[in-house]
Chain A
Amino acid sequence: MDAKKIAQGAMSALLFLVPVLTQPSLAWQEGKGEDRLPPAAIAPSSPSAAKAESSQSTRQARVVAKGGAPSAGSAGYFPNVTLLTQDNQPVRFYDDMLKGKVVVISFMFTTCKSLCPMTTAHLASVQEQLGERLGRDVFIISISVDPANDTPAALKKFAESYKAKPGWYFLTGEKENVRMVRTKLGINGEDKMQHTGMVILGNEATGQWRKMPAWQNPIEITNAVKTLIPTKVPERN
Chain B
Amino acid sequence: MISRREITKIGLVGVLVLGCWTIGINAFGQAPKSPTCRAFFCNALPFPRFAQKVTNAGEIKSILDQATTELSGSHRITTQLRAFLEQHADFYEITMERALQQILPGEKTEIWGYNDRPGVPGFTAITPGPTIATTRMHPVVIRFTNKLSTPTEPVETTVHYHGGHTPPSSDGYPSDKFPSANFPSNSRVFLYPMTLTRGATQWYHDHAVDVTGRNVYMGLAGFLLVDPADNSMVPDMMPTADTDEREMLRTRIPGCANILTTGCNKRFDIPLVIQDRVLGVKGGKANQLIYNPFDFDGVIGDTFLVNGANQPFMEVERRKYLLRFLNGSNARVYQFGFSEDPKRLTHPLEIMEMATEGGAMPKATAQTSMLLAMAERAEMIFDFAQVAVGRDVFLVNCLEQTEGRRPDDFTPQACTPLLRFHVGPKGTEPDPPVATNDGDTMLPLRNDPARHIEEVMSPQDAVATREFKFERSHGEWAVNGELFQAHVITRDGEDREARPRLGTVEIWTLTNSSGGWVHPIHMHADMFEMLERNGHPPGPEEQGLKETVYLGRGDSVRVMFKFTSQPAPWSRATGAEDDIGDYVFHCHNVEHEDMAMMGNFNLMGP
Contacts and interface: CB of A to CB of B under 8 A. Distances in A.
A-B interaction: yes
Interface of A: 6-7, 9-10, 13-14, 17-18, 21-22, 26-33, 35-37, 39, 41-42, 44-57, 59-74, 114-115, 184-187, 193-198, 200, 202, 205-217, 220, 224, 227, 230, 234-237
11 contacts: A13-B18, A21-B9, A21-B10, A27-B13, A29-B5, A29-B12, A62-B403, A67-B281, A71-B281, A186-B293, A197-B474
Contact of A42 (B346, B367, B405, B554): B346
Contacts of B516: 57
A95 B9 CA distance: 36
Nearest to A59: B408
A197 B180 CA distance: 27
B371 A213 contact: no
A73 B368 contact: no
A10 B106 contact: yes
Contacts of A66: 7-8, 11, 278, 280, 290, 302
A211 B369 contact: no
B399 interface: yes
A18 B278 contact: no
Given A59-B402, A66-B8, A215-B476, 16 more contacts: A10-B21, A10-B106, A42-B346, A47-B541, A52-B409, A56-B553, A57-B516, A60-B403, A65-B290, A69-B281, A186-B293, A194-B474, A197-B475, A211-B595, A213-B595, A236-B181
A48 B369 contact: yes
Contacts of A184: 294
Contacts, number: 261
B291 A72 contact: yes
A46 B370 CA distance: 8
B371 A235 contact: no
A63 B280 CA distance: 13
Nearest to A41: B413
A174 to B, nearest CB: 21
Given A27-B9, A39-B409, A52-B371, A215 B292 contact: no
Interface string B563-602: 0000000000000000000000000000000111000000
A7 B411 CA distance: 37
B8 A29 contact: yes
B295 A186 contact: yes
A14 B13 CA distance: 9
Nearest to B342: A28
Contacts of B383: none
A46 B541 contact: yes
A217 B291 CA distance: 26
Contacts of A237: 181-182
B106 A22 contact: no
Nearest to A105: B294
B410 A53 contact: yes
Contacts of A215: 476, 478, 483
Given A21-B14, A68-B281, A212 B475 contact: no
B416 interface: yes
Contacts of A69: 280-281
Interface stretch (B114-122, B133-141, B161-169, B532-540): B532-540
Contacts of A6: 21-22, 105
Nearest to B370: A48
B210 A212 contact: yes
B502 interface: no
A48 B549 CA distance: 12
B369 A49 contact: yes
B474 A193 contact: yes
B412 A42 contact: yes
Contacts of A32: 5, 400, 414, 416
Nearest to B554: A54
Contact of A213 (B342, B370, B412, B477): B477
B280 A67 contact: yes
* Candidate in A44, A68, A194, A216 with the most chain B CB atoms within 10 angstroms: A44
The 4 closest A-B pairs by CB, nearest first: A47-B539, A186-B294, A197-B474, A54-B552
Contact of B294 (A30, A49, A73): A73
A87 B181 CA distance: 38
B210 A49 contact: no
Scoring A33, A36, A63, A72 by chain B CB atoms within 10 A of each residue's CB, the highest score goes to A72
Nearest to A9: B21
A176 B225 CA distance: 52
B154 interface: yes
Contacts of B473: 115, 197
A184 B534 CA distance: 38
Nearest to B154: A227
Which of A27, A69, A70 is the most central at the interface, judged by chain B CB atoms within 10 Å of its CB? A27
B550 interface: yes
Among A49, A56, A72, chain B packs the most CB atoms within 10 A around the CB of A49
Interface string B179-207: 01110100000000000000000000000
B301 interface: yes
Contacts of A50: 539
A33 B112 CA distance: 34
Interface in B545-560: 550, 552-555
A42 B369 CA distance: 13
A217 B486 CA distance: 11
B408 A28 contact: no
Contacts of A202: 293
B409 A33 contact: no
Contacts of A64: 278, 300-302
